[in-house]
């Protein structure tokens, strides 16, 4: 059996202010090829800080204070600036929180997608780049004719799909998705989640899916890690975590979502 595609070991991040804020505390987990690991927790618990720290995108006063991140056989903490630039989006890519607003509003979609290949695949011909960009859009369910569009000409769901296409352009082993369905209506959200599951099955990449929406994670994840105050307080298979939550905070999260059927009791009581 092959080893994990991602290993996070005793990873900590502090904000070096007065007093120091311990945003991420000794977090450890692994991610297997093709696995979806959900990361749940309330706003401010450290989920996004963990994600940014893993790919070394944190800015001062945030600083990684301990631990390491290993993607395949590459220790990200040991990479120099040029090595890191080459590894990002090649081994680990990321769909950022608020990704719908991450596209440059004055540049067509084609140029923004092509920039990934210009940077990381400089020997690729212009024709091959354009063909590949069209394939990527079609793979996420967007007509390749939209390559000529500007971001404001796309719906929110289309812009999110473009960001997912950009993240998978170099066929990374791991994709980190930070609240990828935030601000989307429930119908579009469902379509996006179906696309993510289909692409994961088709291409075999692993996903770290970050959200505060625990019921959503119960539906799409193989395993779920629950984060509170910068620490992972419970990590288990999604089915086990739903049926038998061990940590009081996990139970609180489950009980915070009402059932759509039955009486007005808690989500957990109605489901049991």
Give the pLDDT of the chain (272 residues) as one tens digit per residue: 467 999 999 999 999 999 999 999 999 999 999 999 999 999 999 999 999 999 999 999 999 999 999 998 899 999 999 999 888 889 999 998 776 678 999 999 999 999 999 999 999 999 999 999 999 999 998 999 999 999 999 988 889 889 999 999 999 999 999 988 776 778 888 888 888 888 888 889 999 999 988 888 998 999 999 999 999 999 999 999 999 999 999 999 988 876 656 555 544 554 45
The model's pTM is 0.89
CA angle 12, 67, 38 (to 5 degrees): 65
Relative to beta strand 36-40, strand 62-71 is unpaired
Whether a cis peptide bond, with omega within 30° of 0, leads into 228 is no
Fold adopted by 6-271:
Rossmann fold (3.40.50)
- Compute the distance between CA of residue 61 and CA of residue 142 in angstroms, rounded to an integer: 39
Q: Give the DSSP letter string of 205-250.
A: -EEEEEES-HHHHHHH-SEEEEEETTEEEEEEEHHHHHHS--SHHH
């Amino acid at each position: 059996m092959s080893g994990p595609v991602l290993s996070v070991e005793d990873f900590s991040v502090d904000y070096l202010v007065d007093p120091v804020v311990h945003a991420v505390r000794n977090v450890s987990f692994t991610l297997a090829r093709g696995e979806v690991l959900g990361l749940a927790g309330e706003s401010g618990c450290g989920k996004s800080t963990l994600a940014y720290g893993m790919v070394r995108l944190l800015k001062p006063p945030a600083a990684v204070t301990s631990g390491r991140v290993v993607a395949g056989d590459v220790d990200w903490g040991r990479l120099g600036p040029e090595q890191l630039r080459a590894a990002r989006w090649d081994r680990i890519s990321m769909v950022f929180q608020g990704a719908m607003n991450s596209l440059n509003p004055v540049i067509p979609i084609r140029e923004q997608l092509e920039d990934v290949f210009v940077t990381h695949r400089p020997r690729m011909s212009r024709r091959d780049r354009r063909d590949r960009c069209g394939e990527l859009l079609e793979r996420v369910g967007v007509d390749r004719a939209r390559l000529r569009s500007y971001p404001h000409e796309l719906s929110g769901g289309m812009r999110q799909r473009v960001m997912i296409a950009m993240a998978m352009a170099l066929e990374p082993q791991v994709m980190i998705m930070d609240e990828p369905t935030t601000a989307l209506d429930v119908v579009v959200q469902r379509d996006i989640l179906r696309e993510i599951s289909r692409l994961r099955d088709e291409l075999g990449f692993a996903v770290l899916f970050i959200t505060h929406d625990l019921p959503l994670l119960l539906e799409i994840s193989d395993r779920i890690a629950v984060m509170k105050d910068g620490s992972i307080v419970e990590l288990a298979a999604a089915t086990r975590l739903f049926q038998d939550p061990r940590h009081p905070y996990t139970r609180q999260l489950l009980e915070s979502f009402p059932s759509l059927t039955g009486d007005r009791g808690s989500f957990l009581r109605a489901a049991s």
